[in-house]
Amino acid sequence: MPFFVIPFPQIDPVLVEFGPFAIRWYALAYITGLLLGWRLAIALVSRDHLWGTREHPDRLAIDDLLVYMAFGIVIGGRLGQVVFYDLEYFSNHPAEIFAVWHGGMAFHGGFIGALLAMSFLSWHRKVPLLYLFDIAAIVAPIGIFFGRIANFINGELWGRPTDVPWAMIFPRADDLPRHPSQLYEAGLEGLLIFVIIGFIAMKGGLKRSGLLAGLFGILYALARSFAELYRDPDPLTEALPCSFTMGMVLSLPMALVGLWLVIRSFRAEAKNP
C-alpha cells in the first residue's frame, strides 16, 4: 500500500441541469472534441503549402465532415460497446442501447463509424478518401483526449490496483488504490499522438497520401496496448486469456492497416518523386 493516496476528485458528471434536461461532461467532451477538430481541419485545408502539389478538400467538405463524423462516432461508438463488450447485457436490455447518457462508448466502434462516415462523404463529395483520413489523423487525438478526461470525471474505466504514489481510490470500483489509467490514456492516446502527428504534418507529412493516417493507426495501437497494461479490464467483457484484453486485440488490425498505409505512402513517393 502507498504511504498516501491522492483523493479522487468527486466531480458531478452532470455539468448543468435545466429541469429534466441535463448537460453532462461526457457529452461536452464529444462536442468540444468535434468543434476543435473542425476548426483545426479548416486551418489545415486553408494552408496550401502543407499539401505541396497534392489536392485537398475545401471548406465545404470539412463542414460536411463535421456532421458526418458526429453521427459516425456516436452511433459507431455505442454499437461498438454493444457488440464488442456487452452483447449479452444489451440483448436482455435492448432499451439501454439508446441510453447513451449512462455511459458506454467503445473507441474502436467509434473509429469504425468514423471510417464509414468518411467513406460515404468521399463518395458523395468525390473527395479522395485518404485526404479525409489524413486530416482525421491530425484532429482525432483532440477528441480522444477530452473523451478520456470525461472517463476520469465519471470515475469509470479505472486502472489496476497499485502502490504508486499517485494512486487513487475510485468510489465506483472499491477501496483499493488504483492507477488513474484514464489520465494515462488521455496523455498517450491524446496529447502524445497529437504532438507527434502534428509535428510530422508541419514537416511535410500531408504531402504523402496516407502517411498520417497510417501513423495514427500504429501509434494509437501502441499507446492503447501499453495503457491496457495499467487499465483494469472487466473480467467478463474485456479480459482475455494470456493477459490480453479486448482493447489490445481490436488495436491489432489498426496497427497492421496503419503499417500498410505508411509503406504505401513511401512507395508511391518513390514512384512519383
Nearest to 183 by CA among 163, 221, 155: 155
Amino acid at 264: R
CA distances from 98 to 25, 37, 82, 90, 217 (A): 18, 26, 10, 10, 29
CB atoms within 10 A of CB 136: 22
Q: In the prediction, which pLDDT does 218 show?
A: 97
Contact between 230 and 181 (Cβ < 8 Å):
yes
Q: Where are the domains of the chain?
A: 22-271
Q: How many C-beta neighbours within 10 Å does residue 190 have? A: 22
pLDDT of residue 6: 73
pLDDT at 100: 63
Alpha carbons within 13 angstroms on the beta-carbon side of residue 207 total 13
**pLDDT of 243:** 76
Q: What is the pTM of this model?
A: 0.85
Residues β-bridged to residue 16: 23
CA distance 90 to 87: 5
The grid coordinates of residue 37 equal 477538430
> Concatenated DSSP letters for 160-174?
-B---TT-EE-TTT-
Question: Residue 56 burial by CB count (10 A; 0-12/13-18/19+): exposed, middle or buried?
Answer: buried
Supply the pLDDT for residue 77.
Answer: 82
- pLDDT in the model for residue 239: 67
Secondary structure of the chain: what % helix, strand, coil (to 5)? 65, 5, 25
Segment holding 21, helix H or strand E:
strand 21-24
CA distance 10 to 168: 12
pLDDT number for residue 103: 60
Residue 138 pLDDT? 96
- With beta carbons less than 8 A apart as the criterion, state whether 200 and 212 touch: yes
Q: What is the pLDDT along the chain (273 residues), one digit of tens a residue?
A: 455 567 777 777 676 766 656 667 777 888 899 899 999 999 999 999 999 888 888 888 999 988 998 888 888 888 887 777 777 777 777 777 776 655 667 777 888 889 999 999 999 888 899 999 999 999 999 999 998 998 898 888 899 999 898 999 998 888 899 999 999 999 999 999 999 999 999 999 999 999 999 999 999 999 999 999 999 987 666 767 777 888 899 899 999 999 999 999 988 766 665
Contacts of 190 (CB under 8 A, 6+ apart): 141, 142, 144, 145, 146, 148
From its phi and psi, is residue 272 left (phi > 0), alpha (psi between -120 and 50) or beta? beta
Predicted local distance difference test score (pLDDT) of residue 173: 84
